[in-house]
Amino acid sequence: MSGSTLSIPAADEELPDCVEVAVIGLGYVGLPLAREAASVGLRVAGLDRDPRVVEGLNAGRSHVDDVSDDDVRQMRMAGFTAYTDDACLARAQTVVICVPTPLSEDGGPDLSAVTSAVRAVAGRLRPGQLVVLESTTYPGTTEEVVRPLLEESRLRVGEDFALAFSPERIDPGNTTHGLRDTPKVVGGCTPSCAAHAVAFYGKFIDTVVQAKGTREAEMAKLLENTYRHVNIALINELAIISRELHVDVWDAIRCAGTKPFGFQAFRPGAGVGGHCIPIDPSYLSYKVRSSLGYEFRFVELAQDINRRMPEYVVRRAQDLLNTAGRPLRGSRVLLLGVTYKPDVADQRETPAVPVSRLLRKREAEVSFHDPHVQLWTVDGVAVPRVGDLMAAVRDHDLTILLQDHSAYDLPALADEARLLFDTRGRIFQPGVEVL
């Protein structure tokens, strides 16, 4: 969704008389939601501003890692159709908004896609509809931004239509926990709104957890990811300190992890990536700063630590080359894994970008390999992709493992590489530098 109201003509698809669910935004959040709803027999319509996405889905092609082409074909057989025209919203019993909320220049959430989607809904709103916001944002958004826009239709929340917030909990690439078996948190503007939302999600989610209200549901999402963000920052700083203290931080984590209570293992890395952990805590920090007038210091500190990790990785890489008698300038450096997590193609906020940027700034010759990424650009400049991986690690002065995709034979890579820097703590054998 962009900042303008959707008005692109739809493809040659006739609008059904009625759909039970309309999902706005068919990306990493919206498409899995549409799939699960369709899988239990609900009639689902999808709305997206990108004609290429709509055309691909209607032709049975997926653009999301966790939804296969076969999944899309099954959805189509169940009656799913994607549109670029918001006319489909008028026929929906429930509308779920799953549009992106990136950070704006002032560090707060950019709600332009949300407000655009809500205005589209308001223009088609009718009595009896349920509207749910799933896009991550700061506490108060549903009541302070979404509700007033919808009530411009002169329909009233809790009387004429229902409004709720339900945070997305999608974990791309997770084959253990999916949408259906991950508990769904729901908060309504009124008790009747909550009841409508709980009943809706209960049709295709195993467990629905009702929050006290929309603000609590909004805060729950930020709490989940702020918790992870702060603990990742803690272990990243411990990794730096441990090296100075001559402590094997990976072994310390292994030992601490044997405690059956009171400890959850987090592991250091080149930074944090994805749309959630680097972004979501900023929403909370923004709300505290704008509404209360002071900083959320835990979040600010965690952001500072995690943002410094790419620079630390490059500094360690430079030290490793210097020890081998080579300067970083002019050295050939191969980056393995440029996505933000293992075994997905998702590159959102990947720390590989600042690592590559810093290496180039120091005039290293950077190449990459990733089994899930064929083309990769940093600051608009293409990074060369190697074909023969084993030949490449033998040919490059330094190989840096940024993402431990399961396709990589890590021991074999360690045997062949001239120098290998493992930022994931996966290769503990002589000659390998570990973060």
Between the alpha carbon of residue 329 and those of residues 87, 308, 325, 364, 421, the distances in Å are: 57, 21, 12, 5, 17
Local structure of 246: helix, strand or coil: coil
CB 396 within 8 A of CB 332: yes
Q: Rounded to an integer, what is the distance from CA 15 to the centroid of its chain?
A: 31
> CA-based angle 145:150:154, to the nearest 5?
130
Between the alpha carbon of residue 312 and those of residues 55, 240, 389, the distances in Å are: 44, 8, 26
CB 282 within 8 A of CB 108: yes
Between the alpha carbon of residue 222 and those of residues 8, 180, 226, 228, 298, the distances in Å are: 33, 21, 6, 10, 13
Q: Tally the residues of the chain.
A: 435
Structure tokens at 169: 């909990």
Between the alpha carbon of residue 400 and those of residues 211, 215, 236, 266, the distances in Å are: 44, 42, 17, 21
Local structure of 162: helix, strand or coil: strand
- Residue 195, classified by CB atoms within 10 Å of its CB into exposed (0-12), middle (13-18) or buried (19+), is middle
Question: What is the distance between the alpha carbons of residues 19 and 88, in angstroms, rounded to a whole number?
Answer: 8
Q: Which of 88, 98, 193, 276 is catalytic?
A: 276
- Residue 234, classified by CB atoms within 10 Å of its CB into exposed (0-12), middle (13-18) or buried (19+), is middle
276 catalytic, yes or no? yes
Q: Rounded to an integer, what is the distance from CA 111 to the centroid of its chain?
A: 17
Catalytically annotated residues: 276
